[in-house]
Chains A and B, each alone.
Chain A
């Protein structure tokens, strides 16, 4: 019950009753509208029985007064509620007279915005790369200036602590590769070739690629989130005001650390990948471990290991570079940090696969 109709000395009166508060104003609204529909000819409005009024209630009163009560006076409101109603009326009239509307953007605007954004991002990325190179050259000439403590820390976090996941993943990949090759080779009775083929595939392609992708998901995102949060907290600005370069303090150790860690991880991945295919070869084709290793030594040339490893510093550069770059692009909000973290992972993995393709073309061209 929020309202009722009564016949008083002032004629047909709409009586407003009870607590007009935000939790229930919607019901009050419908009830009053219903009553007014049934009794269109009310003479006066009596609000003396309202026991509670908050801003939402006052807002409703004022709207009803304007739209349905034909600006009739509301009688009997106590002084506190009157003051509140006056306040709300004053504020609402300023809202109505102001002309601010939310900007609506057309399709064309959004396309243009995206295009310029993309161009800006590219320019910024080139700038970032340039600054990185300058910093890298500087530290080459002054190796003692380098934050070696941070480098070691990055190797620990990004490399050493990734050993278990790399081992498990690569062993599984080794098993899968050997199984698929084995199925095909059995048809031709060429079981022994499992060793050659899986060895080459793992050393040359799978281990560098899978390790890089895992580290991109693990480390690139963490760099982006870390630097992004530091940027939002103005920690980057703080570094700069101390005359310390964020590039030298934050980015360089991460890049150098990962360039050292990723090749080592890839070798570790090679070991477990080959171990996985060894297990599969034994259970599927009955090739003993010793026979497998002997044939592995004879048939798989060492150059495949080198060709696999030579790609990894480039992958490491992509992973750490993209992660840091995206981190620096974060601004202002938690959402932007999240967005940049996602982008770091997606772009890093994309560029790793692209670079791997380019390496394949290059090696093919060089007849390696």
Chain B
């Protein structure tokens, strides 16, 4: 929550990825400032997931530079990388909660590993995270298989914020949720940004979320960032690929 709002948290420079016989990314550049909410969109197969996986170090890009918290994550040693990893949280598309642990244990798992504090304090903090994402406390002792889709997303978010990260990645946060739950999740993201000063990077296709939540939208296509602007400007962007992305009948001019 330091108020240095102009500080860049993520810098992606000249990122290139060659996968499955084609260039998924051909010179991708963008940066994310502290306290921003960024959405990454683009048609299927445009490399949104690959981009996210590259930033998260789940895969090594063909070339380019990615720095997170001013650390080049591609060349960082494991120790340096761990320090960065402790400062980010990730919520995967299907939650990726550990299926053999209940929700509370899922959150405690991270705290137990990294937080030096008494067990009772860890449990209290974990419960705090559960209520902060809007789950009822009795969900704490349920296993992922016993939760509904919306609850699972919230539990995954609670685990992502377990170690009070400054940066959170969300992969399709509202996919598969009913409009009410999706709306609540949108509010929750805005609320956490405003109250906790978190930075969000999300990949989404949900137009309602896109209009409501992000400060900027990064449009990936043809291996590049085709546009990097707020949603209302992007919607009027005449570039053909962008117009075709928004041309479906499910669109409304906001």
Contact = CB atoms under 8 A, between A and B. Distances in A.
Interface of A: 21-27, 29, 51-56, 59, 80-81, 83-84, 87-88, 91-92, 94-95, 98, 100, 102-103, 331-336
Interface stretch (B50-58, B139-147, B171-179): B139-147
B82 interface: no
A95 B137 contact: yes
Contact of A95 (B118, B127, B197): B127
Interface in B128-182: 128-129, 131-132, 137-138, 140-141, 143-146, 161, 163-164
B100 A335 contact: yes
A53 B143 CA distance: 31
A77 to B, nearest CB: 12
A95 B120 CA distance: 14
Contacts of B146: 332
A54 B115 CA distance: 13
Interface of B: 1-3, 86, 99-100, 114-118, 121, 124-125, 127-129, 131-132, 137-138, 140-141, 143-146, 161, 163-164, 194-197
B69 to A, nearest CB: 14
Given A25-B117, A100-B138, A333-B144, A54 B1 contact: yes
Q: Tell me if A's interface is mostly helix, strand, loop or mixed.
A: helix
Contacts of B114: 23
23 contacts: A22-B164, A23-B115, A25-B121, A26-B118, A51-B2, A52-B2, A53-B1, A54-B1, A55-B128, A55-B129, A91-B131, A92-B128, A94-B131, A95-B124, A95-B131, A100-B140, A100-B141, A331-B145, A332-B143, A332-B144, A333-B143, A334-B99, A335-B99
A57 to B, nearest CB: 8
Contacts of B129: 55
A83 B195 contact: yes
Nearest to A331: B145
A333 B97 CA distance: 10
Contacts of B2: 51-52
Given A22-B164, A55-B164, A333-B99, A84 B138 contact: no
Given A25-B121, A52-B2, A87-B132, 19 more contacts: A23-B114, A23-B116, A26-B115, A26-B116, A27-B116, A53-B1, A84-B1, A84-B196, A87-B195, A94-B137, A95-B137, A100-B138, A100-B140, A100-B141, A103-B141, A332-B146, A333-B100, A334-B100, A335-B99
Contact of A84 (B3, B117, B144, B195): B195
Interface centre among A102, A103, A333 (most CB of B within 10 A): A333
Contacts of A336: 100
